[in-house]
Amino acid sequence: EPEVTQTPSHQVTQMGQEVILRCVPISNHLYFYWYRQILGQKVEFLVSFYNNEISEKSEIFDDQFSVERPDGSNFTLKIRSTKLEDSAMYFCASTSGFFTGELFFGEGSRLTVL
Amino acid sequence: AQSVTQLGSHVSVSEGALVLLRCNYSSSVPPYLFWYVQYPNQGLQLLLKYTTGATLVKGINGFEAEFKKSETSFHLTKPSAHMSDAAEYFCAVSKTGGGADGLTFGKGTHLIIQP
């Protein structure tokens, strides 16, 4: 069964370092998303991406964040200079179309900023 | 603006008992509503969704939810809990089917099944 895969599963980094989280969405999907979940808090929308550009982004997604689809399969989230408060589980999701209602999520990448 | 409130961060039921997880939403437009489940060390998986039409929707693993517009609720139920139902459950709302604006999630309810 097709699935969304994310790497790494866990990354530990020092404050101020750049981090890239990688996602391989399901191959025929066209819409891609990043969400994050700080420990004990709700899952929060960060950004959606379609046709090689950002469709929507939340206020969390500031200039420290960027997304890219560098080739036909990968979808990356870059945090330019990590802060302690960026420590969270980051989920990638994809869907074939806006109105299917179902997002397919990866297992998440846990980011720990020290 | 949309928001979701899930009552009870933890719910504990006995195996075989009724499961009821509560979700109330706020939306300025007719909502699309979802329940997702997250098993340990896994991603979120769609349980069921309400878009339009029948207000009682059935999902996987015997779960169902009823959209009640007058109560702005979308509670999740299962008649008889099974040990394998132990997981984190998230209610979510979207203005569309989960499109560009993404989903707004509740804080989640951890379901504990007592043997």
Q: To which residue do tokens 């961060």 refer?
A: B9
Kindly give the residue spans of alpha helices, DSSP state H, lying in B18-93.
none
Q: Flag whether residue A53 sits within 8 Å of chain B, measured between CB atoms.
A: no
d(CA A38, CA B57): 30
pLDDT of residue A100: 61
- Residue B42's pLDDT band, with cuts at 50, 70 and 90, is confident
- Residue B96's pLDDT band, with cuts at 50, 70 and 90, is low
Q: Which amino acid is at A33?
A: Y
pLDDT of residue B103: 84
pLDDT digit string, tens, across residues B46-55: 999 998 888 9
d(CA B20, CA A48): 32
pLDDT digit string, tens, across residues B44-87: 899 999 988 889 999 999 999 999 999 999 999 999 999 999 99
DSSP B42: S
Determine which of A102, A104, A107, A109 to mutate to test the interface with B (most B C-beta atoms within 10 Å): A102
pLDDT of residue A5: 95
Q: To which residue do tokens 């929308």 refer?
A: A45
- Residue A72's pLDDT band, with cuts at 50, 70 and 90, is confident
Q: Flag whether residue A24 sits within 8 Å of chain B, measured between CB atoms.
A: no
Sign of CA dihedral A39, A42, A45, A46: negative
Distance of CA A110 to the CA centre of its chain: 11
d(CA B44, CA A103): 9
For range A83-109, the mean pLDDT? 87
